[in-house]
């Protein structure tokens, strides 16, 4: 048995003993509360993401895009205000107030010299750093990357405003006959190669991202989010779930990532529902709340569907999409496992707890699969709308 598997076994043994102790010390109520506290622990995780770069690098626009907000919405980061660049600003994620994205002033100016800069931004508390530029990474950017690397913090190089580059090249006479998609590919490769040469000392080929925050469905915006999710997993389970619940780009890889994270919750939710059987109808309520949570996580709630339909230019199809989502809810309420649980009587022998646990796991797995498949369908519909824009 390898070291990784041994560590997993030790972890499971510790969690099992923890639940057993909760039951012995505080009874059924204490056990249910312990399970719920573990399920909700990710909500208390604090994540700090620092966005670094010089003025006009597109930091504010990226921060808004990461939070699925416009600059003129409540909580939106002001865009195009160079005076704001001289201040440190923190923006909470609307889906989780414990996830903070920070906009930092550029380093190396009279107001923000290198000496003392890291202390000024409270460098040590950050989980991730995103170093942005709309042109070429400067000496100051490279200095920051060196300092971050010394502290063994995760950081990413992000080249922004790429759509502007494409549009500018499209207007040139020599490019009139080139298809936009082909030109995008050519320019993107050029940017990658330039960044690799510029950042050669970091050996960071897999850590360079080309994005345009106004066109999140194109280029590397989703790829960057996926890296954030994967790297959060290496910090802790809580941070992994916290950041996965926040990121909103519903591309196929990110949908799959969310599904894998949500699947990890199923055994604990089923266990909590099984013990809640002793309070009539509480088990059903717990399961329905979890299914609603799945729907929210996949952006299948009313607000998210409307916003995505507007962006994708498919508002005329919104009512049909909403109707199909409601059909999923109806199917979930009619599932055989839910009916089976509903028939079980509270205060009966342990066999009913076992039956509820087994039926709850099956129910949640099926419901998650259906909601995931619907999210994939909606995603493809949105992408079709963008393609035919």
Higher pLDDT, 158 or 88: 158
Give residue-wise pLDDT tens across range 254-301.
788 788 888 888 888 887 777 765 555 566 778 888 888 888 888 777
Query: What's this model's pTM, rounded to 2 decimal places?
Result: 0.69
Average pLDDT of the chain to the nearest whole number = 77
Higher pLDDT: 187 or 275? It is: 187
Closest listed residue to residue 59, CA positions, set 138, 128, 160, 209: 160
Q: What is the pLDDT of residue 12?
A: 44
pLDDT in the model for residue 383? 65
Give the C-alpha distances (Å, rounded to integers) separating 325 from 269, 319, 330, 373.
Answer: 23, 10, 9, 11
Bigger pLDDT: 57 vs 179: 57
Higher pLDDT, 281 or 302: 302
Residue 285: predicted pLDDT: 78
- Where along the chain do its domains lie? 44-249, 256-387
Q: Which CATH architecture has domain 44-249?
A: 3-Layer(aba) Sandwich (3.40)
122-169: pLDDT as tens digits: 888 899 999 999 988 989 999 999 988 888 888 999 999 998 888 888
């Amino acid at each position: 048995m390898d070291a990784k598997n041994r560590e997993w076994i030790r972890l499971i043994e510790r969690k099992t003993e923890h639940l057993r102790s909760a039951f012995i010390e505080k009874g059924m109520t204490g056990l249910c509360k312990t399970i719920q506290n573990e399920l909700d622990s990710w909500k208390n995780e604090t994540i700090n993401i620092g966005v670094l770069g010089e003025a006009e690098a597109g930091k504010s626009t990226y921060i808004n895009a990461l939070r699925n907000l416009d600059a003129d919405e409540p909580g939106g980061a002001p865009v195009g205000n160079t005076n704001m660049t001289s201040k440190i600003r923190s923006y909470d994620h609307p889906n989780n107030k414990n996830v903070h994205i920070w906009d930092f002033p550029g380093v190396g100016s009279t107001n923000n010299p290198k000496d003392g800069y890291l202390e000024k931004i409270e460098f040590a508390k950050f989980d991730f750093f995103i170093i942005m530029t709309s042109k070429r990474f400067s000496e100051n950017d490279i200095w920051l990357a060196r300092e971050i690397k010394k502290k063994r913090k995760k950081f990413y190089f992000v080249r922004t405003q790429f759509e502007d580059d494409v549009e500018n090249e499209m207007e040139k006479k020599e490019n009139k006959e080139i298809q936009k998609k082909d030109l995008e590919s050519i320019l993107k490769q050029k940017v990658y190669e330039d960044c690799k040469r510029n950042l050669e000392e970091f050996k960071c080929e897999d850590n360079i991202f080309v994005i345009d925050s106004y066109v999140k469905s194109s280029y590397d915006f989703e790829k960057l989010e996926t890296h954030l999710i994967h790297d959060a997993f290496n910090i802790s389970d809580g941070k992994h779930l916290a950041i996965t619940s926040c990121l909103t780009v519903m591309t196929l890889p990110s949908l799959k990532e969310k599904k894998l994270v949500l699947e990890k919750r199923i055994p604990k939710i089923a266990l909590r529902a099984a013990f809640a059987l002793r309070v009539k109808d509480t088990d059903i309520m717990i399961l329905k709340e979890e299914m609603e949570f799945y729907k929210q996580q996949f952006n299948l709630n009313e607000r998210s569907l409307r916003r995505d339909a507007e962006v994708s230019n498919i508002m005329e199809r919104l009512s049909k999409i909403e109707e199909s989502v409601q059909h999923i809810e109806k199917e979930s309420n009619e599932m055989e496992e839910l009916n089976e649980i509903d028939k079980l009587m509270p205060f009966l022998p342990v066999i009913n707890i076992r039956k509820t646990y087994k039926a709850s796991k099956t129910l949640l797995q099926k419901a998650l699969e259906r909601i995931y498949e619907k999210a994939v369908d909606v995603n493809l519909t949105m992408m079709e709308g963008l393609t035919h824009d």
